[in-house]
Structure 1
Amino acid sequence: MNLPDDELNDATADAAVHEARLWRDKGWTAQVFKNEDDDGWAVGMTRDGESEPALVGPWTMGRDKKNPKPLDVNAFNTLVKTASEVIRRHEQHLQATLHKQVVVNLGDRRITVCLDIEPDDENPQASLSALDEGDECLARVSVSPGFKLDRASATAWIEADFERPGRRAD
């Protein structure tokens, strides 16, 4: 859902604005707008510099049951906190999908195997690395970004003396 951008893109984006349907402060913009899907109102929270809102949700009707409740400092602060949490959870999820690790115990050795993916629309890359208990790098190889890291694949890589997965011996 796109928010009306006439007010969001004006030259005063850096100045604080505290209006009934538009608040801009603390690096965020809250804008109340008519919900296209029903008769109600919605609010969007956009972080400065971003083109899409981090959070869009329903907004309370005012006492007249026609117009939205005006924004105020408490509502704005709550929206900032909620939108910040949404972004934080999204970043944590992205980090979890781009960096995975498993610990393998082989005999008296404890090795941590990490898969790090560098996303890129045209040329994504990934590397597989092995660290000993002192975080000393034992090996690092390039792998496909689609490489599935689990305990079995990590163990197989270690047992193959860190030979790049998918490479066939002649």
Structure 2
Amino acid sequence: MTDASTELPDDAFDDTTADAVDEIKEARLWHKDGWMARVIKNEDDDGWAVEMIKDGEPEPALVGPWTMGRDKKNPKPLDTSAFNTLVKTASEVLRRHEQQLRAQMHKRIGIRTDDGDVDVTLDIVPDEYEPYATLTAFDAFGEQIAQVRVAPNFKLTKARAESWAEGGFGRIE
């Protein structure tokens, strides 16, 4: 439930109108530098919350509690300092989420073989219809030795990488 003064037109998040909404600085709504801060009624209790939405994204990057104003009924108005802090926090949340996703989609293990050190990587391709992963071996100079396609749920461990190397980097079932 948002206050009428904070409601936006249905096309406010449409990429074609993003340029038209350059800068808004209202008590419960700020839009600046690709970010929108919106103070909303907290549905979980009697208080208020603020959501930070990056332009072009369908979901908020951050939703958190917001401070009550002096009258203990209405929310404290947004200001430059609060908006800048919210942008910094929401950006950090997105950055950490991207790092976590990248870490889940890419694994690397170093092994020793008779021919020298080898790096084995697993890269998951999260295709909506046919996800898969590629297992790749690189020599000490970064040259690709082998690459095979594996199931997206393939677990890369040191033992499996060593076994693959011992088998001549052939196909993995």
Tell me the TM-score normalised to structure 2 length: 0.90
Gap runs ≥5 in structure 1: none
The alpha carbon displacement at 1:3 in A equals: 7.8
RMSD, aligned α-carbons: 1.9
C-alpha separation in 2, matches of 1:119 and 1:101: 18
Gap runs ≥5 in structure 2: none
Matched, 1:74 2:81: yes
Which amino acid is the alignment partner of residue 8 of structure 2? E
Distance 1:108 1:140, change over 3 A: closer
Identity %: 56
Which amino acid is the alignment partner of residue 135 of structure 1? G
Out of 83, 93, 109, the position equivalent to 1:102 is: 109
The structure in which a higher percent of residues are helix is 2
C-alpha separation in 1, matches of 2:51 and 2:101: 22
Matched, 1:115 2:116: no
The alpha carbon displacement at 1:14 in A equals: 2.7
The alpha carbon displacement at 1:120 in A equals: 1.4
Matched residue SS, 1:24: strand
Does the CA-based 8 Å contact 1:118-1:125 persist in structure 2? yes
* Structure 1 residue aligned with 2:26: 19
C-alpha separation in 1, matches of 2:78 and 2:115: 62
Matched residue SS, 1:142: strand
* Structure 1 residue aligned with 2:42: 35
Matched residue SS, 1:39: coil
Of 102-111 and 63-72, the range deviating more from structure 2: 102-111
Q: Deviations over 1:96-115 (max 9, x none)?
A: 00000100012461100000
* Structure 2 residue aligned with 1:53: 60
Matched, 1:88 2:114: no
Which amino acid is the alignment partner of residue 7 of structure 1? L
Matched residue SS, 2:152: coil
Does the CA-based 8 Å contact 2:2-2:41 persist in structure 1? no
Distance 1:49 1:3, change over 3 A: farther
The alpha carbon displacement at 1:119 in A equals: 0.5
Matched residue SS, 2:59: coil
Which amino acid is the alignment partner of residue 45 of structure 1? M
Equivalent pairs counted in the alignment come to 165
Matched, 1:124 2:131: yes
